Structure 1
Amino acid sequence: MSAPAVLGWTLLSAIAPGAAHLRAGRRRTGLVLLGCYAAGLLALLLAYLTVDQVTLGARLIADSSLLTTLMVALAVLGLAWFALIIRSFMVLSPGRLPQRQQMLMGTLAGLLAVAVLTPFAAVAQVALALQSMTDGIFVAPPEAATEQQSGPADPWASRERVNILLLGGDADDNRTGVRTDSMNLASIDVATGNTVLMSLPRNLEDVRFRPGTPMAQKFPTGFRLPPDPGGGRSDLLNSVWEYADAHPELFGGRAHQGAKVLMDTIGYTLGVKVDWYALVNMWGFARLIDAIGGVTLTVERDVVFGKYNEGLVKAGTRRLKGADAMWYARSRTYSDDYTRMRRQRCVISALLEQADPATVLSRFNKVAMATKELIRTDIPRTMLANLVPLAVKVQSAKVTSIQFVPPLINTGYPDYDKIKAIAAKAIRDSGRPAPVAATASSAPKPKKSVTATPSTNPTKSLGDGCGGL
């Protein structure tokens, strides 16, 4: 057999195992290999057609043992394929070739075997990164995991919505405690994925606590503390977590009650039950944006930042790196908290639109590393099997937002009954299907919704006001 024929049959064996054995006259081995290969392809095709890929992926994320099994299976299959290529080359009797051709064909066969092994190694590396990320983020208490495993197959069977508190924290090495400068409650309709994102300002005063709780007993008329020595205040909504963590004596000596207290407080403020929270380190968020290659934003006017106003995010539409995107979202220089809240909402909206699956997969290792350092949450890992499909629904569903800022509310003297009423109406409206007349209209739709006045309807599309001011 000539050198090109040896190489050709070896190459064919890489995509049709057993071909080289058949050519070499080893019919039984060749047919067995081809039969196993065909059966494997049919099984994969059947799985692709019958198994929901989103659900399968969610189960892999939720169960560490499944990810470990997948990595082991990939390693075994990759090594078996590597060995098969080498064996296929050997059964073609390359030793009959001249020595120079033997060396050349052997080198090419070895390179082919390595090339076949590479995709298995790449997928195994992605699985390893995914396992490391989920192990670092989702650390469920044992009782929570046990409760979920013993619960119904469909955890949404008896409920219409899931409420997740999304927090942006400012913790870093030079600051003690956690101040939650960004507080958004995502209320998600489990049937449709329609979501209401309700933003509460960091400077909300006279915060009320649920009656009967330790914080309500300490502050029966609202959260009020003496002014700080510098004239600032430490009794705003963004200080609730930090205050609760700093005073374990209020909770019978139990430490680290800040997250639980803030969840209950915001739930009481909005009239909902908060299921879980996710705390995002705002500067870790910048690393996530860099991991997906930046985010395209329309900066409506120059944004100044820095201790000495030395930084500048220039106006215009372009792709921003993580640091610039975060300064755009966080800077209060020549601005205020309410404008900053709108800019933060714009960054979230842009990420929802631009972080598509293809982008995330192509940069998965970087995304996984950034996400591991970014998020702290009390969501049990076992819940991911249900939350991942729900998140996919949200991406293609209607996402509206409410910002509880002036003139809608007075942050110094908040009308908490009004806040509850507005939140309840927004949640009710989110669960309703679009009117038939509106969907059937042939009139062209505007690119952006018209901003409603606070007295009529404060609910907006998530992207309203982004880049158009």
Structure 2
Amino acid sequence: MSPSTRARRAARARRPRPRLRTSVGALALAVLGALLPGTAYLAARRFRLGTVVTLTSLTAYGAAAYLGLKRRDDVIAWALDPELLLWVVGGLAAAALCWVVVLVTSYKMLRPLTAAPVSRLFGAVVVGLVCFAMASSTALGAQTLMAQRSLVRKVFGNDETKSQTRPTITNTKDVWAQLPRLNILLLGADDGEGRDGTRTDTVMVASIDTRTGDTALISLTRNWMRMPFPKDSPLHKLYPTGFWDPNGPKEQSNFYLDAMYRMVPELHPGILGPSDNEGADVLKLSVGEALGLKLHYYVQINLAGFEQLVEALGGITVNINYPVPVGGNDDKQIPPNRYLEPGPNRHLNGEDALWFARGRYKVPGADVARQARQRCTIKAIVERATPQNVLTNYQSIAKAGEQLIRTDVPEKLVPHLVGLGQKVKSARISNIDLDKKKNYPNGRNPNYAGMRAIVQNALTPQPKPRPTAPATTTTRRPTTQPTTKPSTRPAATPTTSDNLTEACAYNPS
């Protein structure tokens, strides 16, 4: 390098950098520059450094926008990968550190050298507050990601579970091509005070058209007996006429549907092979046989966790058409503490939402009425779980979810279910009425064949036959017509499928 070249570079190095004349202007430019890191460097004439940092920032913003708009499924899949979430938390911390460094150095480059001590102190305080806000938002984001990681590991960390009742997914790229209709068993488990083990007072099936998101809800009554089992199940050999004791008394509460979760594993442990929840697997088989459906997965809701979830969502809004009891016990003749008063658009907190879904003390048609309110509760939760509300309260929701949910849905299927959930939210949710008057006037001997016909007709309705033209009459010799024997097959009861928007409307009785 020649002496003249070295002299020119030394002169440029000694040349003072341009600075703003006021501390307020420098502070404002540095803080605004934090929105697009690197622009404040350009204002300070640090062109090389500013160009690199600005282009890096623009690239990061562009990548985030692309992922959010075009690759949402991938983002959801990453958010459900516990190991990847750890790397994201680390990357978030590194990005926050770089962000703070850029802000501080930008202000130092732009601040006048002759600024008064008061101006310097004011600038330092403002920069410190902005850095604190950056660190706080980063910490909040990291806590949310860690809450998500904990939820995924505790609820869905069961990919290796072996269960004969869970389907084997072979087409992982297009899961719904393999499952055009997804049937999920929904269980409300209550192991509260005075209960001998866990009872599933709420048993429902959500049958989802994975193409459209249209969902049909089917409610089962807790005191049904003689619940059937598939013929290829070892339980069918033990109970060929359903789950009951032919030699027992007329009233057999331990053979009710709500007792099967506890009683079958106690009476026949391990009969279904490897399982992490024998009671749920038993109900998947039996409920599926009763309705003529293949139940793919179960979701078990703990009632105490349900209350926490509603609180985390900020409550739910429902229409109450008659006084709903809070507490009370029919068997022990203990009256309720109070009632939920009728009214439209009633906002309920967690405790009241729980009793809206389960209250039954001397309610006319208690079990059927409770099933209807439970369907309306699910509808209200779906409506309340908007993306904005979920993101705002995510840590509380995730914490409640850990106590609330038990399921055999594998972790690898969750991203697909999230996408399906978006379809369900904007699709039609209906109710399949199993016709209590004809099919189960009481719970001792329900007509499961009639129920299967109703479900089949509701989910795969047969096209109506076209009217045929009258046949041309011709003169023929009379013939004797053979007598047709009446069919012994059970008659299919007409299907009733009510839109939940209408069923859950305010219509006081």
TM-score of the superposed pair, with normalisation by structure 1: 0.87
Q: What residue in structure 2 maps to residue 427 of structure 1?
A: 459
Identity %: 31
Q: Does 1:130 align with 2:145?
A: no
Q: Deviations over 1:421-461 (max 9, x none)?
A: 111111114x99xxxxxxxxxxxxxxxxxxxxx95332111
Q: What residue in structure 2 maps to residue 328 of structure 1?
A: 356
1 CA distance for matches of 2:240 and 2:128?
A: 76
Q: Does 1:456 align with 2:494?
A: yes
> Residue 96 of structure 1 aligns to a residue in which SS?
coil
Residue 414 of structure 1: how far off its partner (Å)? 1.4
Q: 2:237 aligns with which of 217, 220, 223?
A: 217
Q: 2:412 aligns with which of 382, 388, 399?
A: 382
Q: Is contact 1:167–1:279 with CA below 8 Å preserved after alignment?
A: yes
Q: Which deviates more, 225-234 or 277-286?
A: 225-234
Q: Which deviates more, 236-245 or 58-67?
A: 58-67
Indicate how the Cα distance of structure 1 residues 116 and 310 shifts in structure 2: closer, same or farther if over 3 A, else same.
closer
Indicate how the Cα distance of structure 1 residues 388 and 206 shifts in structure 2: closer, same or farther if over 3 A, else same.
same
2 CA distance for matches of 1:47 and 1:333?
A: 52
> Residue 183 of structure 1 aligns to a residue in which SS?
strand
> Pairwise mapping of residues 50-449 of structure 1 onto structure 2 (< 5 A)?
50-51=70-71, 53=72, 55-93=73-111, 96-142=114-160, 151-172=171-192, 175-225=195-245, 233-249=253-269, 251=271, 256-307=277-328, 308-317=335-344, 318-335=346-363, 336-404=366-434, 406-410=436-440, 411-429=443-461
Q: What residue in structure 1 maps to residue 6 of structure 2?
A: none
Q: Which deviates more, 217-226 or 344-353?
A: 217-226
TM-score of the superposed pair, with normalisation by structure 2: 0.81
Indicate how the Cα distance of structure 1 residues 238 and 61 shifts in structure 2: closer, same or farther if over 3 A, else same.
farther
Indicate how the Cα distance of structure 1 residues 39 and 152 shifts in structure 2: closer, same or farther if over 3 A, else same.
closer
Q: Is contact 1:18–1:32 with CA below 8 Å preserved after alignment?
A: yes
Residue 420 of structure 1: how far off its partner (Å)? 1.0
Indicate how the Cα distance of structure 1 residues 250 and 72 shifts in structure 2: closer, same or farther if over 3 A, else same.
closer
Q: Is contact 1:200–1:405 with CA below 8 Å preserved after alignment?
A: no
Structure 2: give runs of 5+ residues left out of the alignment: 1-20, 329-334, 464-491
Q: Is contact 1:167–1:180 with CA below 8 Å preserved after alignment?
A: yes
The one-letter code of the counterpart of 2:80 is: A
Q: Deviations over 1:131-180 (max 9, x none)?
A: 122222112142669x9787431122233211111111112366443211
Q: What residue in structure 1 maps to residue 34 of structure 2?
A: 14
Q: What residue in structure 1 maps to residue 62 of structure 2?
A: 42
How big is the alpha-carbon RMSD for the aligned residues of Structure 1 and Structure 2? 2.7
Q: Is contact 2:222–2:257 with CA below 8 Å preserved after alignment?
A: yes
Residue 402 of structure 1: how far off its partner (Å)? 1.6
Indicate how the Cα distance of structure 1 residues 144 and 97 shifts in structure 2: closer, same or farther if over 3 A, else same.
farther
Q: Is contact 2:244–2:252 with CA below 8 Å preserved after alignment?
A: no
Q: Is contact 2:23–2:111 with CA below 8 Å preserved after alignment?
A: no
> Residue 113 of structure 1 aligns to a residue in which SS?
helix
Residue 39 of structure 1: how far off its partner (Å)? 2.6
Indicate how the Cα distance of structure 1 residues 254 and 120 shifts in structure 2: closer, same or farther if over 3 A, else same.
closer
Q: Deviations over 1:63-122 (max 9, x none)?
A: 212222222221111111012111112223555322222111111111122223333333
Residue 253 of structure 1: how far off its partner (Å)? 8.6
> Residue 184 of structure 2 aligns to a residue in which SS?
strand
Q: Which deviates more, 221-230 or 265-274?
A: 221-230
2 CA distance for matches of 1:401 and 1:198?
A: 6
Q: Deviations over 1:342-380 (max 9, x none)?
A: 111111122222322222222111111112211110111
Q: Is contact 1:180–1:241 with CA below 8 Å preserved after alignment?
A: yes
Q: Is contact 1:169–1:180 with CA below 8 Å preserved after alignment?
A: yes
2 CA distance for matches of 1:150 and 1:253?
A: 22
1 CA distance for matches of 2:76 and 2:95?
A: 23
Q: Which deviates more, 182-191 or 251-260?
A: 251-260
The one-letter code of the counterpart of 1:400 is: S
2 CA distance for matches of 1:60 and 1:82?
A: 27
> Residue 234 of structure 1 aligns to a residue in which SS?
helix
1 CA distance for matches of 2:47 and 2:215?
A: 60
Q: What residue in structure 1 maps to residue 485 of structure 2?
A: none
State the structure with bigger RCO (CA 8 A, min sep 6), 1 or 2: 1
Indicate how the Cα distance of structure 1 residues 227 and 87 shifts in structure 2: closer, same or farther if over 3 A, else same.
farther
Q: Does 1:468 align with 2:496?
A: no
Q: Is contact 1:148–1:382 with CA below 8 Å preserved after alignment?
A: no
Q: Deviations over 1:304-345 (max 9, x none)?
A: 232432222111132011111211221111122111111111
Indicate how the Cα distance of structure 1 residues 293 and 46 shifts in structure 2: closer, same or farther if over 3 A, else same.
closer
Q: Is contact 2:315–2:350 with CA below 8 Å preserved after alignment?
A: yes
Q: Which deviates more, 37-46 or 335-344?
A: 37-46
Indicate how the Cα distance of structure 1 residues 20 and 28 shifts in structure 2: closer, same or farther if over 3 A, else same.
same
Indicate how the Cα distance of structure 1 residues 91 and 36 shifts in structure 2: closer, same or farther if over 3 A, else same.
same
How many pairs align? 444
2 CA distance for matches of 1:9 and 1:144?
A: 60
Residue 263 of structure 1: how far off its partner (Å)? 0.4
> Residue 105 of structure 1 aligns to a residue in which SS?
helix
> Residue 407 of structure 1 aligns to a residue in which SS?
helix
Structure 1: give runs of 5+ residues left out of the alignment: 433-453
Q: Is contact 1:163–1:187 with CA below 8 Å preserved after alignment?
A: yes
Q: Which deviates more, 279-288 or 404-413?
A: 404-413
Q: Which deviates more, 321-330 or 167-176?
A: 167-176
